[in-house]
């Protein structure tokens, strides 16, 4: 890549709040940098999810357990530090780098990789510098890096071979590897927390004239669904009497197979940050359950995302219902999805094509390193 520095050593730090989202983003970032010729140490306080998410690892990515208090090991000095999602790297690690880096005639780039948002402040704050005035890191400068959906932000994680891999994907073959007897029904993935509208959606799908199959991810999604079905079977025994709605409970999926699931479906229910980005690249309609915040700050974040998509009214209504923002149920006419999905698909394709025209996040990080090291 012309004009881009290669061969640097990166330390990426991540504190795990949601195993799937935090680790998902951090691992994709580490693997993406390594695939471009960089060396990466990925520090995680809980690396357990990688045993199924990325069981084979990646060349030039070393996973290290981040424990507190941190004993600063004798390590090769890195060129770049990344603290993901404001996790704040251990002060003893920063102190060692602040002392050793200039003493050995090296430069250090310190990046604060923020959460993804479509809100306006992402453009305003992306690339801002924050000199550290006191403490063990005094004299160093943080670079704020905001992922986003516009050219004025840091972009999104996207592998160079993504479109080529999608073009080779065969969903019938993939479904057979999971033992799913696919008979042409509508496929919908379910990756969620515990949405209050889940029961409403099960009724909606069970009453839809086109058969649907939910591909259900393990963990909270499976638990929420089984709890909801158990309640329905007790209170409304005939809610799915025509068996137009069926269920396939999936095993833990690698990141590659998670992409395959999204590509296989006509509609994807996703949650958090990493799965949202993968759903956008899948070029399929998606409904996003945003991570809830106690002060309802996620409502503004969701609204900004829907504005960015220029989402049609039916898609907006479903998002608000799914996220518990609005108690008004979305249109529940018999053929709702039959009519809505084609329009949602046009929206998804327009958004995906627009994002493909922007520079991806790893490329932008490499350009930042090239300018500062």
Q: What is the CATH number of the domain that holds 339?
A: 3.40.50.2000
Q: Are residues 148 and 186 in the same domain?
A: no
Report pLDDT for 6: 56
Q: Are residues 217 and 100 in the same domain?
A: no
Q: Are residues 228 and 321 in the same domain?
A: yes
Q: Are residues 191 and 140 in the same domain?
A: no
Report pLDDT for 327: 61
Quick check: 44 and 295 in contact, CB under 8 A? no
The number of distinct structural domains making up the chain is 2
Lowest mean pLDDT among 2-16, 56-70, 132-146: 2-16
CATH code for position 14: 3.40.50
**What digits encode the pLDDT tens for the residues 220-257?**
999 999 999 999 999 999 999 999 999 999 999 999 99
Residue 3 located in a structural domain:
no
Bond into 69 cis (ω within 30): yes
Residues designated catalytic: 22, 273
Domain membership of residue 146 as a residue range: 9-156+358-372
Q: Are residues 294 and 183 in the same domain?
A: yes
Report pLDDT for 330: 54
Report pLDDT for 175: 98
- Is the pLDDT at 171 greater than 50? The verdict is yes
Report pLDDT for 1: 39
Q: Are residues 178 and 127 in the same domain?
A: no
Instruction: Using pLDDT thresholds of 50, 70 and 90, give the confidence band for residue 351.
Output: very high
Residue 211 located in a structural domain:
yes
Q: Are residues 103 and 252 in the same domain?
A: no
Torsion of CA 210, 216, 221, 226, to 10 degrees: 70
Residue 145 located in a structural domain:
yes
């Amino acid at each position: 890549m012309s004009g881009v520095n290669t061969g640097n050593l990166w330390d990426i730090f991540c504190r795990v709040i949601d195993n799937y989202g935090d680790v998902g983003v951090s691992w994709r970032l580490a693997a993406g940098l390594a695939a471009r010729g960089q060396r990466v140490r990925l520090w995680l306080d809980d690396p357990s999810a990688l045993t199924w998410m990325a069981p084979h690892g990646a060349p030039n990515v070393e996973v290290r357990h981040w424990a507190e208090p941190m004993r600063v090991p004798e390590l090769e000095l890195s060129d770049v530090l990344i603290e993901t999602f404001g996790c704040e790297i251990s002060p003893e690690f920063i102190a060692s780098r602040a002392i050793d880096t200039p003493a050995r005639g090296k430069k250090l780039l310190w990046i604060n990789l923020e959460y993804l948002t479509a809100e306006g402040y992402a453009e305003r704050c992306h690339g801002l510098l924050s000199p550290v005035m006191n403490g063990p890191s005094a004299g160093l400068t943080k670079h704020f890096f905001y992922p986003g959906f516009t050219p004025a932000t840091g972009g999104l994680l996207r592998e160079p071979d993504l479109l080529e891999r999608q073009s080779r994907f065969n969903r019938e073959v993939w479904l057979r590897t999971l033992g799913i007897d696919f008979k042409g029904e509508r496929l919908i993935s379910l990756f969620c927390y515990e949405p209050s509208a889940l029961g409403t959606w099960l009724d909606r799908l069970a009453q839809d004239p086109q058969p649907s199959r939910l591909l259900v991810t393990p963990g909270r999604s499976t638990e929420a669904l089984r709890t909801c079905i158990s309640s329905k079977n007790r209170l409304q025994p005939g809610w799915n009497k025509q068996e137009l709605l069926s269920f396939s409970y999936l095993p833990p999926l690698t990141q590659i197979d998670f992409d395959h699931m999204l590509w296989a479906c006509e509609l994807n229910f996703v949650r958090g940050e990493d799965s949202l980005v993968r759903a956008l690249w899948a070029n399929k309609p998606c409904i996003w359950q945003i991570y809830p915040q106690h002060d309802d700050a996620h409502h503004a974040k969701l609204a900004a995302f829907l504005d960015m998509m220029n989402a049609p009214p039916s898609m907006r209504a479903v998002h608000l219902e799914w996220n518990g923002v609005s108690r008004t149920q979305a249109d529940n006419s018999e053929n709702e999805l039959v009519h809505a999905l084609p329009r949602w698909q046009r929206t998804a394709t327009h958004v995906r094509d627009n994002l493909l025209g922007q520079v991806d996040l790893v490329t932008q990080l490499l350009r930042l390193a090239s300018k500062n090291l």
